[in-house]
Structures are given as structure tokens and as C-alpha cells.
């Protein structure tokens, strides 16, 4: 039986000033469970550091044989930012890219 996914509800701002805290949250969640399902619906403000963090989280999970997935509905501003930056779809990330 597969282990239930760890639900991670990311909230508040995800900007240069606050991103370190969010990184710790994700890191802790990834240590706890093999599969993390993160919701970003509660994120109020974000900048490029947030995109870097999500990419790194996915890369880290993959390196550890785990899964980090964003399960929120597509966020138009995040989609737009990823497109404008030419962010590639990470390996293994399916239809929900870029979240």
C-alpha cells in the first residue's frame, strides 16, 4: 500500500524577505514523507525566488527518489511569470506545469 501524501499548505508571502522560511517548511515536509502535495492557493505575494524554490524542491525530491507536486489550480500570474522567464518544464512534471 502506498503511503499517504503529506499535504503542505504554503501560505503568506513568498518573496525575497520571506522565502527562507518557506524553504525550511518544504525541506521539513520532504524529510517526513516520500510524497509531498503542496497547495499554493494561500500564497499572497511571490517573486522569482518562489519560482527558484519550487524548481529546487522538485529537483531535490527527484534526487532523493521522492515526489514534490503542486496540486493547486493554475495560478495565472505564476504561469505568466514562468512563461516570460522561459522556465522549462522539469522532468517528470506532468500537465500541471507550471503549477
Q: Are 29 and 14 in contact (CB under 8 A)?
A: no
Q: Are 98 and 82 in contact (CB under 8 A)?
A: yes
Asked if residue 65 binds another protein (CB under 8 A), the reply is no
Cell numbers linked to 4 = 499517504
Asked if residue 26 binds another protein (CB under 8 A), the reply is yes
Among 7, 9, 32, 48, which residue sits at the site for another protein (rule: CB under 8 A)? 48
* Binding positions for another protein, 66-85, rule CB under 8 A: 72-79, 81, 83-85
Closest to another protein by CB, 5 vs 49, is 49
Report how far residue 79's alpha carbon sits from residue 51's, in angstroms, rounded to the nearest whole number.
10
Q: Are 89 and 97 in contact (CB under 8 A)?
A: yes
Other C-beta atoms within 10 Å of 4: how many? 9
Residues that bind another protein (CB under 8 A): 13, 15-16, 19-20, 22-23, 26-27, 30, 40-49, 52-53, 55-57, 59-60, 63, 72-79, 81, 83-88, 90, 95-96
Amino acid at each position: 500500500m502506498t503511503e499517504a501524501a503529506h499535504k503542505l499548505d504554503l501560505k503568506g508571502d513568498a518573496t525575497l524577505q520571506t522565502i527562507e522560511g518557506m524553504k525550511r517548511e518544504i525541506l521539513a515536509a520532504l524529510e517526513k514523507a516520500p510524497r509531498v502535495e503542496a497547495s499554493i492557493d494561500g500564497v499572497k505575494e511571490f517573486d522569482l525566488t518562489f519560482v527558484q524554490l519550487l524548481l529546487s524542491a522538485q529537483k531535490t525530491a527527484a534526487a532523493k527518489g521522492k515526489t514534490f507536486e503542486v496540486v493547486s489550480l493554475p495560478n495565472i500570474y505564476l504561469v505568466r511569470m514562468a512563461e516570460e522567464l522561459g522556465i522549462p518544464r522539469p522532468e517528470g512534471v506532468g500537465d500541471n506545469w507550471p503549477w
